[in-house]
Structure 1
């Protein structure tokens, strides 16, 4: 194949890399309804297109010329002329030219459509901004996306003022910003195919930034920005850098090295990046909405509590008296057991299932709804099978509801909740006409009890954080995020983040990282596992990020730590 037919030096659609060249044959003119990109890729002899993560691009490769190796998620495959290879979305991907001749591929890209987030904006007020979201939540989102993309991310307000400090800032942009203000302009040739609110900017040195709006009620309240990357190096870049060096008195070698470190990405990846960042922006909007709902609910609850506080104090005192009276009445009706028969003891002439009641309470406390239902069914069947009258069975179940509902008071210290559920099911038991009615009534009772414990008990302060701490300690090796943990414990990310900081005096992210690093230290000291294996075992899929976090907390690399502690085994 004659290289001059395709890879012309003057072709504006050609991107040049250290490892080879990419000639774009087709790109979408409107990303809203066009998604396909196609290109010819040339990989120089004995070179490789280094491993990179396909966030949303699905790709087909057709080998036109040469031989090499293709790696997808660490699985190697020999490739040769005439072969077709598929590279799925969300996979790591690497192509190596093993021969002394060029390896030429025809590639076809299409970004996979990411799941959209539907926003319910009916209650949103204009005065809410990004400042209503806990800063740590925004920083966590930013850090996770940066780690995934290995690119700089920053979140700004609607006036482009930074809300978070940028992550993965390239040393060239950092160096340049110290000496002169950054002037960006629209990258018109690329912006033509984008949504009006999505922008690609470029600076004097051809460094690219993607800007995606965060919108509420159709108004822009901020931006997610991703940048410090190139799609091509300018032909006169050395002249421009030399001029910058002289103007700002910066060593030319230093600024050239910094510029050379800027990542060069394929143009097709820009479209996948834009789709991913759009989802991130909409996710942040969703967090704002949830924060606002929480705030409004808290304000309403506080108003209700203020108005009824005195009433609750009076009712509480009255109910305490009633509880003492109830205990006295129950005690007077109980006789000493003559002989235990299985799980039952005697109350006058009616057997009361004390052991089964204790078991039922344990199942409810463990939020085990299925086993709780089976227990109440067995209890009612027992009385029905022995021809115990319906009225006497009601008395037993009424007592059981009274006893088990006290669990709510013990766990929540809220006598109002206990009283309401007790009165509700006391009435339901009273009006039951058959054993089937009683069974349905008790099933509803245990179901509501487990729901209340799940949504009320788990919203307790220290109790909740203790459970979260335990969960993290037992699941540190999993892909833990603030959003995931908040979903597990039925609380909002904003609420959990604030509460966790208050109780543990440390952020949730730092807590997870410290647990992981401590576990990694144990592996490094006590095993011969490779550092890459240890990284995955403690929850870091990116080994370089593991190394970064380990050094941040331990002030040494994993390898240094292992060597220093080798003699301590």
Structure 2
């Protein structure tokens, strides 16, 4: 928070909505106060009772009320729990602290009740603690209207209020975190566009270029390459912003489409289909109400990161490291005559253990994953006119062109030659 105070932290509308309901349910008076004990808001329709209004109608009484609130607020912060106190006029009030990141902002004051019917001792103390110029007969009449709450009821109300205030604090923390994330996304978008201007990189001229980059991005997702996927996604979104000139309706359509394609790629990469579809549905629902472009981009970054995490959802960090290292080794050496044993030797584990990890964590064999990497790389190389099908086959590690054609057709649905001819 740029300013550490309760006014900037709590959403006034939501504060009123939640605590007004609490006031109606309990019949108790509630105020939001700052660290100095100054009242910021009286919540709900429950105004101060006639007794307190009469006390505060005198300047000395007002000052004593302020001092009581300040003392109670500081004590509540000290113990980080509801603090019961008797105000200068003899009423029972409790304060619930508002603390964010160990910074004390203020409190919610509740109560203004008696725990039992006023007796002679209460009246004597009341007369002693108030200025002589106060009309004591009028004050006695106001005492008759004071609500009485048993100690058990008061404690229960304080506990309930503590839960409600904690909910408000956590909700606003999450809101602030989201706002900070959107702000960073906005700065990143601005930085990307400025870098393009400095490097004289113009926006792409048609969606053909965008779709080629999109296919590369999806291949990184299928391979579980989080770093390259996220880097490519950033470029894709900057391209999209440039091409659409910030037109929100078009950006929204493309973002929804990209999330849908990414979900399928993640499932093909080994993520759980049911979980991915649930995340996609949640994403689609969130996007419906979004207005800011940076929020679109932040949300799609987030859901795609979740898709990628789903490909490697390992509870055992040691296994996570081994599988990731094996995947990286394959990505760097796919063009060589790579074997399960060579990869296992590199990782200093047995071939059988590595094979078991691939089946357990990626739901495929070592050879299946190696083949998937090679086919994805083949698709990239085929886009270069200077490479023939035979050259592509050799470049990705296939000794036999016919076997390469068979494997390529199995994964892509057409032969390498047909696929390459369709590109030019």
Q: Normalization by structure 2: what TM-score?
A: 0.45
* Structure with more strand by fraction: 1
